[in-house]
Amino acid sequence: MSNAIRATREPLKTLPLTYGFTSCALFQDIHHGNITQEVFYTDPRVLYISLHRHGFGNSHRGGPTEVGSGQGEGYNVNVAWSAELDCSLGDKEYLTAFRTVVMPIAQEFSPDVVLVSSEFNAVEGHPASLGGHGVSAKCFGLLTRQLMEVAQDHVVLALEGGHDIREIWDASEACINALLDNEVAPLSEDSVMNMTCANTMQSLQKVLQIQSECVLGVFTASLASPTLGLCLLYFPFLECLLNPPIPQPTPPPPLSFR
């Protein structure tokens, strides 16, 4: 059982379903967090969001139609990238998923705490046998900074394992710097300015459509913006990520010759 499951479940054991404490558990890895999903599948106090490679490693759990059941319907969100993608997932795809799915739903849910379970297998440098994604360590730092806005800095990061110690080190350092409110390194222009993979656009559109049809849950039809396709291809917010604003010195007063 993962650290994130324990940290989320323990405080809820003695609280009724009607109690106001809520938690958002985010699983961002190549593999699906199926155990985490099962534990909270019927619990409306926990919003579970997973970004993973669907069908990778002979696992077909974690499809977008798995939205929770009973009172937990609509509180389980699977951003399931297809295992048959014809491109490598990188910074632009993860930033797009956060902008169009993760952040709108998490902000609507407004949890008291966000718990992130990760092995950083999506970080660039891992071979195709481990997913072959190309998300930069810097990007994980930026995503952490975004999550801090959801629960007023109440974010807990749980490292659940991993494979490549160097990639784990770099990504963990970026996330810790974000938590400490240190400067987050900007992304390289090449990593985000290319066109988003068409298959990932279809995956995100499918998630939004399915979640909008849930009878319960936090997602509303108004979040399914008709400009999703534009958001996936055009990132007006990336300019500040690539080139953080530099404070300009106050110009001196004009000279007077009187």
Q: What string of pLDDT tens digits covers the 258 residues of the chain?
A: 566 666 666 666 665 555 455 777 776 666 777 888 898 899 888 899 988 877 655 557 789 999 999 999 999 999 988 766 656 788 888 898 999 999 999 999 988 889 888 878 778 776 665 656 788 889 999 999 999 999 888 898 888 766 667 888 888 899 999 999 998 888 877 766 766 777 788 889 999 999 988 866 766 544 554 333 333 333 333 333 344 444 444 455 554 444
Q: Is residue 120 part of a domain?
A: yes
Q: Is residue 75 part of a domain?
A: yes
Q: Is the distance from CB of 81 to CB of 52 less than 8 angstroms?
A: yes
Q: Is residue 9 part of a domain?
A: no
Q: What is the pLDDT of residue 64?
A: 92
pLDDT tens per residue across span 71-117: 999 999 999 887 666 567 888 888 989 999 999 999 999 888 898 88
Evaluate if pTM is beyond 0.75: yes
* Residue 170, domain extent: 22-242
Number of compact structural domains in the chain: 1
Q: Is residue 257 part of a domain?
A: no
Report the CATH number that the domain containing residue 195 is assigned in CATH: 3.40.800.20
Q: What is the pLDDT of residue 33?
A: 77
Q: Is residue 13 part of a domain?
A: no
CA distance 154 to 67: 25
Q: What is the pLDDT of residue 41?
A: 93
Q: Is residue 250 part of a domain?
A: no
Q: Is residue 249 part of a domain?
A: no
Q: What is the pLDDT of residue 101?
A: 92
Q: Is residue 3 part of a domain?
A: no
